[in-house]
Structures are given as structure tokens and as C-alpha cells.
A = this chain, B = another copy of it.
């Protein structure tokens, strides 16, 4: 585990890191296992040591919204770990994963003695907040093709929260990241292909026209289709 790669522990001295390490316990989950569920009480602070973790919410009708897909130097559930409240989302192991967990109380104790951990946490929470504001605005204002362009460009929130290149995701996964359904996402992909922004490479899509994607991500509308007849 490279602790220095995790913003929360940056700048801690060796004895402090040792204390952190003692407070954390290691846990493995097989692929597909539930790590914790929304509403359950404060599962604690999680660090991804190995593997891929999906953070998501489910609506009453059963549709998924994937908030994050996280790999190794990432952390999750900081909010519940810090305030001791219910977990704000579900977490499952996508692949086999290895996690380090620091309980709510233990984390508060560490923060009580390590000022640096406290200031790091403030900065990290601020960052998280920015990401959520951005995702919120995407959902209120942007069409699905526009969100899809942002996902391919891996802009801020999507780069922070989605540790997987879109070309490696299934359409189902992309749909759940963008908060829509597989069919709609497929349409959007075909749209971007017809517009000459993406090209298919095997099953995956690759970027052809980055500037075009950028325009779509900003203006929310597709520029004229490639094969639109010139009169």
C-alpha cells in the first residue's frame, strides 16, 4: 500500500502513518460481493487496495446510477465515516477486491491526534463536493449525448470518479454512469458515430474528433452531422 498516493494521508510522518495502519483492517471480497448497502449505519472509511469497486444508488424501480468506479489509490464512504450517519450509497466489488477499512470512531481518534489528517480531509471533502455539483448540473442541464461526450473526454468529475476508460465499459455501464438506460445510450453512441465524433474499434468506441466532442460537451447540441448534404 502506498499511503502517500492517498490525499488523506499526504504529509503524515512515519509514526502517524503507523498509527493509521494499525487502525485500519484489511478485508477481501470476491467479485460481485456486496461491500455495504445504502442506509446501513456508518460502514467506515474505505481505501481500495486492489480491484475495482462500484459505488451506486438504486431507484425504487430498480434502475442503477453508478456514482463511481474506483481502483487502487481511491477511497470511498468518507461522508458516513466522518459524520457517523447512514451510508449514502451502495458499494459492491466488481472484480475481486482488497480493501482497508477504518471505522468511524477510529477515524475520529486519528483526526483528533493528527491535525494534518484533518486538514487533508477538509480539502478532500471540498473536492468531492465540487464533483457532485458538477454531476448535478450535468443531470439537470445536459442531454445524454452531451454527457456521453464528457464521459469520453474524461472531464473533471468523470475522471475523478470513473477509473475506467469508456472504451472498456459496456454500454450498460456507461448508461448507469450517465443515469439512463442501455437502449438510450446505444442510440447516443450511434449518433456520435454518425456525426463522425467516434469510431467503432471492435466492440469499443474510440475518439475521432476531440474538438467535436468538446463542442458537444459544452453546447449541449450535436454539430451538423458529417454526412449532412451540402447544398
With A60-B218, A83-B126 already in contact, 15 other A-B pairs whose C-beta atoms are closer than 8 Å: A57-B141, A59-B137, A59-B141, A65-B140, A79-B126, A83-B130, A88-B130, A111-B119, A115-B115, A115-B118, A125-B125, A129-B129, A136-B136, A139-B139, A141-B179
Please name all residues of chain B whose beta carbon is closer than 8 Å to the beta carbon of A206 when the two chains form the complex.
none
Is A220 at the interface (CB under 8 A from chain B)? yes
State whether B139 touches A140 (Cβ < 8 A).
Answer: yes
In the complex, what's the smallest C-beta–C-beta distance from A30 to chain B, in angstroms? 28
In A139-184, which residues have CB < 8 Å from any B CB? 139-142, 179
- Whole-angstrom distance between the alpha carbons of A65 and B220 in the complex? 16
Is A25 at the interface (CB under 8 A from chain B)? no
In the complex, what's the smallest C-beta–C-beta distance from A37 to chain B, in angstroms? 15
The number of chain A residues with a CB under 8 A from chain B is 40
In the complex, what's the smallest C-beta–C-beta distance from A113 to chain B, in angstroms? 11
Identical copies in the complex: 2
21 pairs from A and B in contact (CB 8 Å cutoff): A57-B137, A59-B142, A60-B219, A65-B140, A78-B126, A79-B130, A82-B122, A83-B126, A88-B129, A88-B130, A89-B133, A111-B119, A115-B115, A122-B122, A125-B126, A129-B132, A136-B136, A139-B139, A139-B140, A140-B179, A141-B179
- Whole-angstrom distance between the alpha carbons of A178 and B48 in the complex? 35
In A30-82, which residues have CB < 8 Å from any B CB? 57, 59-61, 63, 65, 67, 78-79, 82
Please name all residues of chain B whose beta carbon is closer than 8 Å to the beta carbon of A128 when the two chains form the complex.
129
In the complex, what's the smallest C-beta–C-beta distance from A66 to chain B, in angstroms? 11
Is A135 at the interface (CB under 8 A from chain B)? yes
Is A19 at the interface (CB under 8 A from chain B)? no
State whether A129 touches B125 (Cβ < 8 A).
Answer: yes
In the complex, what's the smallest C-beta–C-beta distance from A103 to chain B, in angstroms? 16
In the complex, what's the smallest C-beta–C-beta distance from A65 to chain B, in angstroms? 5
Is A85 at the interface (CB under 8 A from chain B)? yes
State whether B82 touches A126 (Cβ < 8 A).
Answer: yes
In the complex, what's the smallest C-beta–C-beta distance from A54 to chain B, in angstroms? 16
State whether B220 touches A127 (Cβ < 8 A).
Answer: no
Is A194 at the interface (CB under 8 A from chain B)? no
State whether B220 touches A61 (Cβ < 8 A).
Answer: yes
